Chain A
Amino acid sequence: MATIIAGVGSSHVPAIGAALDNGKTGEPYWKRVFSGFEKSKEWMAKTKPDVAIVVYNDHASAFSVDVIPTFALGCAAEFPPADEGWGPRPVPVIKGHPELAAHIAQSVILDEFDLTIVNKMEVDHGLTVPLNLLFGQPRNAWPCPVIPLAVNVVMYPPPTGHRCYMLGKAIRKAVESYREDLRVVIFGTGGLSHQISGPRAGLINSKWDKAFLDNLSKNPKKLTRIPHVEYMREAGAEGIEMVMWLIMRGALDDNVQEVYRFYTVPASNTAVGHIILENRGRASRKHSAAAKGKQAPRRKTSHRLAA
């Protein structure tokens, strides 16, 4: 049986990708951002998942306004990086896991989540930036297959936080009914607070972001009740991306171990948030290399750089 062993939340700011691609990671501005992911890369290297499910959103790359799917699951064998106007990012082609993806599609659709199946899709910074932050910059291939789940958060209304959370639960059920023993990590990406449109652009709400991270860890059900208008008002029009983190959270145990957290302002126009949550359940711990001998509270390792 396949298991979801952990969830990763991470911003996917395009400027982070540009900083990586243009060799700017050593500049003080960017060092502040990238230093927050050093421990995460170590964690990922130890955890060695067999598959990553990455919940993200497309930014007018694969989908225009011709077709706007609310949930689109990537079932292809591979997903090339999209040309977002400056040529495709110099990252390896993302290999999919078509068998597990097809299994998830079949399971969650019968569980009444009407996913769109995508068998051909390019993926943009929304997916590739979090991969870089957690897996580094591999030259030839990413260390594991990736199943992209693209969520519409561009056109209002995105799915509700509650819907996202419940989809996460359905995905978990699907994964756990897969025949092969696979250790799966699920990513929720986007956010945290930011607004990049209109005269209110530049909005950041660190207090709200921190409460979001706290609740994500300890009390996710509270987050499922946040109405969209509150996300937009408090975390910026584009901060509504944060609903995607609830898919990741829904796929985890009610009680999780917060392994790591990082928060800094800004990267370009955005508050950068990052969290790693491990499932505590026996089945997942048994498989989790990273959990071995590390049961003591690990919140101490959290970076909290922003005031």
Chain B
Amino acid sequence: MVRRRQEYDDIPGTFVFDAERSRQGYGINMFCMSLMKEENRKAFKADEAEYLKKFQLTDEQRDAILKRDYNRMLELGGNIYFAAKLGATDGHSFQHLAAVMTGSSQQDYAAMMLAGGRSVEGNRSRSAKDKQAKGKGKAKSQSKSKSTAKRK
């Protein structure tokens, strides 16, 4: 089914977990929720593909989970708070997941955060009108490429 375009789809590098994605991603999120239990974590790690058969997932969703393609999981209806449970099952910190989603190393990502985080300049809008929503003067020049979120 084609996703109906929403105003917030214009925000770059962002998959808003809305009611439509919540419906679409029910299986992904309930799978992630199941990882709250130790016995389920063990069963999943023992045979990932077999464990996933217990959940209603499309081939694309299953593939994204097996590949730990977090951005794709979010795009297909996963929510980050649920997906983080899969990350934790793999022994990864939240910051590790964030780094993976942004395509940078954890070290670079952590350094960016310490330096004040990713700037909003240049990251407001995919349609290139990077104006400030509050109209307080013009946005500064195009952002540094380092802090620009890319849409895959």
Which A positions have Cβ atoms within 8 angstroms of B?
Answer: 14-15, 59-60, 64-66, 68, 83, 85-86, 154-157, 193, 195-206, 208, 211, 228-230, 232-234, 237-238, 265-266, 268-269, 271, 306-307
A197 to B25, CA, bound (A): 15
Say whether A234 contacts B79, CB under 8 Å: no
- A63 to B, closest residue via Cβ: B33
When distances are taken between beta carbons in the complex, the residues of chain B under 8 Å from A65 are 22, 25-26, 29-30, 33, 79, 82
When distances are taken between beta carbons in the complex, the residues of chain A under 8 Å from B142 are none
Q: How far is the CB of B116 from chain A (nearest CB, A)?
A: 6
- Chain B 4-41 residues near chain A, CB threshold 8 A: 7-8, 11-19, 22, 25-26, 29-30, 32-33, 35-36
A154 to B109, CA, bound (A): 24
When distances are taken between beta carbons in the complex, the residues of chain B under 8 Å from A202 are 98, 102, 109, 112-113, 117-118
- A82 to B, closest residue via Cβ: B36
Which B positions have Cβ atoms within 8 angstroms of A?
Answer: 7-8, 11-19, 22, 25-26, 29-30, 32-33, 35-36, 71, 74, 79-82, 84-85, 88-89, 94-95, 98, 101-103, 109, 112-114, 116-120, 123-125, 132-134, 149-152
A238 to B83, CA, bound (A): 14
A229 to B133, CA, bound (A): 10
When distances are taken between beta carbons in the complex, the residues of chain A under 8 Å from B149 are 198-201, 203
Say whether A197 contacts B80, CB under 8 Å: yes
A199 to B147, CA, bound (A): 10
Counting residue pairs across A and B whose Cβ atoms lie within 8 Å, the total is: 161
Max chain A Cβ within 10 angstroms of own Cβ: one of B74, B81, B109:
B81
A203 to B149, CA, bound (A): 9
Instruction: List 27 A-B residue pairs with CB atoms under 8 Å apart, sorted by A's residue number.
Output: A60-B32, A60-B84, A64-B82, A65-B29, A65-B79, A85-B36, A85-B88, A154-B79, A157-B18, A199-B13, A199-B101, A199-B150, A200-B12, A200-B14, A202-B102, A202-B112, A202-B118, A203-B119, A229-B11, A230-B134, A233-B124, A237-B11, A268-B113, A269-B94, A269-B98, A269-B117, A306-B116
A268 to B103, CA, bound (A): 17
Knowing that A68-B22, A156-B16 are A-B contacts, what are 17 other residue pairs whose CB atoms are under 8 Å apart, sorted by A's residue number? A60-B29, A65-B22, A65-B79, A65-B82, A85-B36, A196-B94, A197-B101, A200-B11, A200-B118, A202-B109, A202-B113, A204-B113, A208-B134, A229-B8, A232-B16, A233-B124, A234-B133
A200 to B79, CA, bound (A): 15
Say whether B11 contacts A233, CB under 8 Å: yes
Q: How far is the CB of A207 from chain B (nearest CB, A)?
A: 8
- B124 to A, closest residue via Cβ: A233
Given A154-B79, A155-B79, do A237 and B94 touch, yes or no (CB 8 Å)? no
When distances are taken between beta carbons in the complex, the residues of chain A under 8 Å from B117 are 193, 202-204, 265-266, 269, 271
Partner of B81, one of A59, A68, A230, A268: A59
Given A155-B22, A198-B14, A266-B113, do A238 and B150 touch, yes or no (CB 8 Å)? no
